[in-house]
């Protein structure tokens, strides 16, 4: 998890250090602070040299809802599963709205689809998670992570688009693009029973919900390459369709088959196709509120992305139809 900016010198003033001191008063002073990610709603820092034995640690500052789900994953669920996972060093509530979460630093090597070993590694890791999570009661207490979540995304995203179709800053061609997307979402919702039917026969389980290269790291350990998934804010309980988009499916099936003997490789491939339909719905929901901007130049980004997501959604729906 490499960063673009570093802070050197006496960093005791930094809020991440102050929060860490509340949990570990005797921890060494950080040699530096790397700013890994900083946005309006969250920030992530690496405190170099501040962890156990002088190791770096990751400090995440986030809204309470996100932080609470991540805390549950790192403290109550992942330690009880046969998986490699970042260690959680502590959680500190800053206010009713914000919290800090301190995690093991798992390095800088990101998961890559271009390396054939990585999807296979992910298939084994994901298969173990999906087949063993039922033993952990806390996992069942997570928000829904299956198709109902994405039907909600569909409806919320469509509502935001419709609410902004009359924005005078939108060009006529942009309005046409958005109306086409609304029509596609209407059509998908009208056939939602087919989405649910395509998931039939696969057990509900723990779902990461956002498994992609930016949220997965590879580290070489005593047993070879190990995978570490981070950013569990979208974790849930449900049919794990969205988790299968980037993993090697034959490898995954070879792991789950002894525990789920009625699930065929064909079922796994169909479930991954469902995941490719569901994933754009979340993205559409998050981008569509930007259509409320009043300046035309500020609308270029959301309209461009919504056009891309509509194309991906159409391709995914066709693929799923071919597998039905």
Question: What is residue 8's predicted lDDT score, i.e. its pLDDT?
Answer: 67
Pick the CATH number of 117-323 from 3.30.420.140, 3.60.21.70, 3.90.1200.10, 1.10.540.10: 3.90.1200.10
Helices within 53-171 (DSSP H only): 64-71, 117-132, 137-140, 147-163
pLDDT tens for residues 97-133? 999 999 999 998 999 999 999 999 999 999 999 999 9
Q: Which residue has the tokens 């980004």?
A: 301
Distances (CA, A) of 177 to 61, 77, 226, 285: 37, 43, 43, 16
Question: What is residue 97's predicted lDDT score, i.e. its pLDDT?
Answer: 95
Beta strands 205-207 and 224-229 are unpaired
Question: What is residue 204's predicted lDDT score, i.e. its pLDDT?
Answer: 97
Question: What is residue 7's predicted lDDT score, i.e. its pLDDT?
Answer: 66
Question: What is residue 222's predicted lDDT score, i.e. its pLDDT?
Answer: 80
Where in the chain are all domains bearing CATH 3.90.1200.10? Answer: 117-323
Where in the chain are all domains bearing CATH 3.30.200.20? Answer: 5-104
For 81, residues 6+ apart whose C-beta sits below 8 A from its C-beta are: 128, 129, 132, 133, 136, 206
Task: List phi, psi (to 5°) of 78.
Answer: -60, -35
Question: What is residue 3's predicted lDDT score, i.e. its pLDDT?
Answer: 46
Question: CB–CB of 187/154 below 8 Å?
Answer: no
| Calpha distance 20→61 (Å, rounded) | 11
Shortest CA distance to 232 belongs to which of 123, 134, 103, 132? 103
Question: What is residue 37's predicted lDDT score, i.e. its pLDDT?
Answer: 87
Give the angle 281-166-277 at the CA atoms, nearest 5°: 10
Question: What is residue 324's predicted lDDT score, i.e. its pLDDT?
Answer: 74
Which CATH code fits 5-104?
A: 3.30.200.20
| Calpha distance 271→277 (Å, rounded) | 10
In the chain, which residues have pLDDT < 70?
1-4, 7-9
| Calpha distance 155→170 (Å, rounded) | 22
Shortest CA distance to 71 belongs to which of 163, 126, 141? 141
Shortest CA distance to 200 belongs to which of 274, 257, 143? 274
Question: What is residue 4's predicted lDDT score, i.e. its pLDDT?
Answer: 57
Question: What is residue 38's predicted lDDT score, i.e. its pLDDT?
Answer: 85
For the record, the structure tokens of 26 come out as: 């005797």
Question: CB–CB of 316/280 below 8 Å?
Answer: yes
Strand, helix or coil at 208? coil
The edge-to-edge listing of strands for the beta sheet with 88-93 is 5-8, 32-38, 42-48, 57-63, 98-104, 88-93
């Amino acid at each position: 998890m490499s960063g673009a900016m570093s802070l050197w010198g006496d960093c005791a003033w930094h809020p991440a250090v102050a929060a860490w001191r509340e949990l570990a008063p005797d921890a060494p002073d950080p040699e530096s602070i790397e700013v890994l990610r900083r946005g309006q709603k969250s920030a992530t820092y690496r405190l170099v040299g501040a962890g156990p034995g002088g190791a770096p640690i990751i400090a995440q500052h986030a809204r309470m809802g996100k932080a609470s789900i991540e805390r549950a994953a790192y403290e109550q669920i992942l330690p009880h599963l046969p998986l490699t996972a970042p260690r959680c060093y502590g959680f500190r509530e800053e206010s009713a709205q914000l919290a800090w979460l301190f995690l093991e630093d798992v390095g800088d090597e990101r998961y890559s689809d271009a390396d054939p070993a990585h999807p296979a590694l992910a298939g084994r890791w994901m298969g173990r998670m999906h087949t063993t999570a039922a033993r952990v009661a806390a996992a069942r207490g997570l928000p829904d992570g299956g198709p109902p979540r994405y039907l909600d995304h569909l409806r919320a995203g469509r509502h935001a688009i419709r609410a902004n179709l009359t924005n005078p800053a939108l060009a006529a061609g942009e309005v046409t693009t958005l109306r086409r997307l609304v029509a596609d979402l209407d059509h998908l919702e009208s056939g939602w029973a087919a989405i649910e039917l395509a998931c039939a026969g696969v057990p509900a389980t723990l779902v990461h919900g956002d498994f992609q290269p930016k949220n997965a790291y590879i580290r070489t350990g005593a047993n070879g390459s190990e995978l570490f998934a981070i950013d569990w804010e979208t974790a849930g309980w449900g049919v794990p369709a969205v988790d299968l988009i980037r993993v090697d499916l034959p490898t995954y099936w070879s792991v789950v088959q002894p525990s789920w003997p009625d699930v065929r490789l064909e079922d796994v491939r169909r479930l991954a196709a469902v995941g490719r339909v569901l994933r754009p719905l979340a993205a559409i929901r998050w981008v569509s509120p930007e259509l409320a901007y009043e300046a035309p130049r500020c609308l270029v980004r959301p309209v461009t992305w919504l056009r891309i997501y509509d194309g991906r959604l159409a391709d995914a729906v066709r693929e799923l139809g071919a597998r039905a």
